[in-house]
Amino acid sequence: MSTFDSLKSGTDIRAVAMGDEALLTPQVAERIGRAFSEWIDRRAVANDGQDEVQTIAIGRDARLTGKELLAACAHGMAAQGFRVLDFGLCTTPAMFKALVGSHPVAQASVMITASHHPSDRNGFKFFTPQGGINAEELDQIIALMDEAFPASGHQGFVEKMDYLSRYTEDLMALVREKLDDPVSRPLLGLHVLVDAGNGAGGFYAGMLEKLGAWTEGSQFLEPDGRFPNHVPNPEDPEAIQSLSDAVLKHTADMGVIFDADCDRAAIVDQSGLAINRNRLIALMSAILLNQEPGLTIVTDSVTSSGLSKFIGEWGGEHYRYKRGYRHVIDEAKRLNAVGINCPLAIETSGHAALRENDFLDDGMYLSTLLICEAMRLKREGKTLSSLLDGLQEPVESVELRLNIQAEDFRSAGIKVIDAVMDYASEAEGWTIAPDNREGVRIAFDLDLGSENAWFLLRLSVHDPVLALNVESDVQGGVNTLLTDLYDVIRHSPDVDFSPITEYLDARL
pLDDT digits (tens, 9 = 90+) for 172-231: 999 999 999 888 899 999 999 999 999 999 999 999 999 999 999 999 999 999 999 999
Q: Which of 336, 356, 388 is the last residue of a domain?
A: 388
Q: Please, what is the average pLDDT of the chain?
A: 94
CA proximity to 260, closest of 83, 119, 133, 161: 119
Q: Are residues 270 and 364 in the same domain?
A: yes
- Tell me which long-range contacts 45-51 makes (C-beta under 8 A, separation of at least 24): 51/107, 51/128
Spell out the SS3 assignment of 203-238.
Answer: HHHHHHHHCCCECCCCECCCCCCCCCCCCCCCCCHH
Residue 287's closest CA among 208, 189, 385? 385
Same domain, residue pair 427 and 374: no
User: Could you tell me the pLDDT band of residue 259, with boundaries at 50, 70 and 90?
Assistant: very high
State pTM to two decimals.
0.93
One domain for residues 466 and 323: no
Q: Please check whether residues 26 and 72 belong to one and the same domain.
A: yes
Claim to verify: residue 308 and residue 345 sit in the same structural domain: yes
Closest CA to 316 of 286, 355, 351: 286
The total of structural domains in the chain comes to 3
Residues 174 and 150 in one domain: no
Assess whether pLDDT exceeds 90 at residue 412: yes
Residue 325 confidence (pLDDT) above 90 = no
Q: Which domain holds residue 53?
A: 5-162
Considering the domain architecture, whether residues 369 and 419 belong to the same structural domain is answered as: no
DSSP assignment letter at 474:
S
Task: Answer with the one of 388, 422, 450 that is the final residue of a domain.
Answer: 388
Output the domain CATH number for residue 414: 3.30.310.50
DSSP one-letter code for 384: G
Provide the pLDDT for residue 181. 85
The neighbour count for residue 162, using CB atoms within 10 Å, is: 10
What integer pLDDT is reported at residue 461 of this predicted model?
Answer: 78
26 with 153, same domain: the answer is yes
Polymer length of the chain = 508
Give the pLDDT confidence of 300-323 residue by residue, as tens digits.
999 999 999 999 999 999 999 988
Is 348 within 8 Å of 233 (Cβ atoms)? no
CATH code, 373: 3.40.120.10
pLDDT of 102: 78
| Same domain, residue pair 151 and 177 | no
Please give the average per-residue pLDDT across 142-165, as a whole number.
Answer: 88
